Amino acid sequence: MSFDLNKLTRPNIQKLVAYSSARDEFSGEAKVFLDANENSLGSPLTKWYNRYPDPHQRAIKQQLSTVKGIGAEHIFLGNGSDECIDLLFRSFCEPGKDNVIICPPTYGMYEVSANINDVTIKKAPLLDDFQLDLVHIENLIDTNTKLIWLCSPNNPTGNSLNRTDIEMVLNNFNGIVVIDEAYINFARQKSFIQELTDYPNLVVLQTLSKAWGMAGLRLGMAFASASIIEILDKVKPPYNINQATQDLVLKALEEIGQVNDMIKILVDMREALVEVFSSMPTVEKVYPSDANFLLVKIKEARKIYEFLLTKGIVLRDRSNVQLCENCLRITVGTEKENTLLIDAMQDWYNTKQSV
């Protein structure tokens, strides 16, 4: 493999001079800030939010560096992982010229973002066991293929991709391989973050939305070589992570023990749900999951989905997704929510039997 980041980066991005915010133009400590046209009298919320946030999120990156065991220079923070996804397209894919490979069924924003950025999508569908079709991927690669998107654990299937297959792609592709690990905290498989030194073409995405329970704050993470991180930093808006999010995330990162406890509880409830669903006569298959959700193949999935809506219970109907016919994606809820779901599904079955 011959990986050359300069050849991958869009020419206009290479020439781009990043916006220099007021807070970029000095270093050290200061007492009086009269450089950014902020409201010096404060705000209705708190006296602190009248100031622009740290555009480089230094405190969070330093804390994450300890949590993840990787240098802060390898960390990029986005307004949700969706911003990280979009920036990768904008940095490395020439609109109307370049292409990327996705492996459906997978997370839908890869395709949406590709379409927004006018980047051609090539699809190598997963095999019947939801693993990579390496031959198909290899056959799709051409000189304009810039990114390969891999989601592991995968959404909506819930399974982890075979590690050796991912390594095969990393070792044989000259472009960038993005591994989306949004659900990695619930998985048996270890993260690829520690492999960054071995693979200069690797980008790992993670999030605080799932295991950390902070979906409302919108903070996504990209881990990559310092060179790739520099490009993303150059392209991003100057203040992409707001101050409230930065404050709350810093507090949350001190509670690793609580997060680990929640992960264990969710995994235990996931396994309990597998047993219950597997015993239901309407359920044809419960797919193995390394995430905080289950993909369940079920008879008359759409009818059950609509029945549950009448009970105020919302699932995700994936019946129209490739390889997921008659499947519902079910998030592991609280113990009370899981019980309400199970009781409602049993009610549907009993009603159907009595007709």
pLDDT digits (tens, 9 = 90+) for 271-288: 999 999 999 999 999 999
Mean pLDDT of 166-195: 97
pLDDT at 44: 85
Distance CA 33, CA 52 (A): 11
Range in 19-23, 25-29, 106-110, 169-173 the model is least confident about: 25-29
pLDDT at 355: 59
pLDDT digits (tens, 9 = 90+) for 287-299: 999 999 999 999 9
pLDDT at 30: 79
Q: Quickly state the pLDDT bin for 123 (edges 50, 70, 90).
A: very high
The type of residue at 152 is S
DSSP secondary structure letters along 204-262: EEEESSSTT--GGG--EEEE--HHHHHHHHHHS-TT-S-HHHHHHHHHHTT-HHHHHHH
Mean pLDDT of 251-266: 96
Distance CA 89, CA 203 (A): 13
Among all chains, which residue has been given the structure tokens 């950014």? 36
Structural domains present in the chain: 5-20+55-254 (3.40.640.10), 257-354 (3.90.1150.10)
Rounded alpha-carbon distances, angstroms, from residue 152 to 25, 130, 177, 290: 40, 11, 12, 9
Give yes or no for residue 145 having a pLDDT over 70. yes
pLDDT at 1: 64
Mean pLDDT of the chain: 94
Tokens coding 153: 């654990």
Tokens coding 144: 């304009």
Q: Quickly state the pLDDT bin for 242 (edges 50, 70, 90).
A: very high
Q: To 5 degrees, how large is the angle CA 348–CA 351–CA 354?
A: 150
Give yes or no for residue 309 having a pLDDT over 90. yes
pLDDT at 350: 87
Q: Quickly state the pLDDT bin for 167 (edges 50, 70, 90).
A: very high
pTM of the model: 0.94
Among all chains, which residue has been given the structure tokens 């220079």? 73
pLDDT at 47: 65
Distance CA 80, CA 218 (A): 4
pLDDT at 273: 98
Give yes or no for residue 222 having a pLDDT over 70. yes
Distance CA 114, CA 228 (A): 19
Nearest of 145, 123, 121 to residue 133 by alpha carbon: 123
